Structures are given as structure tokens and as C-alpha cells.
Amino acid sequence: MGNIRPTYIKRVAIEIQKKFPDMVSDEFDANKELVAKMTDVPTKKMRNRIAGYLTTYHKLTVKKNQ
């Protein structure tokens, strides 16, 4: 079974993907830095969850476009 993520995490990650498609990568650490710069997320746990979903979402969109 997969992870179920709250809507706000998905919404923020998809918005970052649409605004900055060339800055998002397949690496979690790079996306974590990007989320820290582009948002004002209050906690480290939420930042990591957004970065994790952003990485997964980026991989899915790249695979879908091939």
C-alpha cells in the first residue's frame, strides 16, 4: 500500500513543480533545499514531507512524458 498524504502537501509540491520545473530534481536533498528557499514551512517534518512528495511527483511526470 502506498502513502496517503494530506492535500496541502500535494498542493504545495505541485505548485512548486509548475512554477520552477527546471529547478526540481530527482534527488530528495536538492528538493529539500528548494522547498526551504521557496516556502515558509514552519517545521522540518512538513518540509521533508513536501520535498519527498515533490521528488515522487517529479519522477512520475518525467516518466509520463517519455
CATH number of the domain encompassing residue 49: 1.10.60
CA-CA distance, 8 to 23, in Å (whole number)? 21
| Residues 3-59 pLDDT 10s | 788 999 999 999 999 999 999 999 999 999 999 999 999 999 999 999 999 999 999
Q: Is residue 59 part of a domain?
A: yes
Query: What is the domain extent for residue 33?
Result: 13-65
Q: Is residue 52 part of a domain?
A: yes
Distance of CA 50 to the CA centre of its chain: 5
CA-CA distance, 21 to 54, in Å (whole number)? 11
Domain count, the chain: 1
Q: Is residue 3 part of a domain?
A: no
CA-CA distance, 44 to 63, in Å (whole number)? 29
Q: Is residue 19 part of a domain?
A: yes
Q: Is residue 45 part of a domain?
A: yes
Q: Is residue 1 part of a domain?
A: no
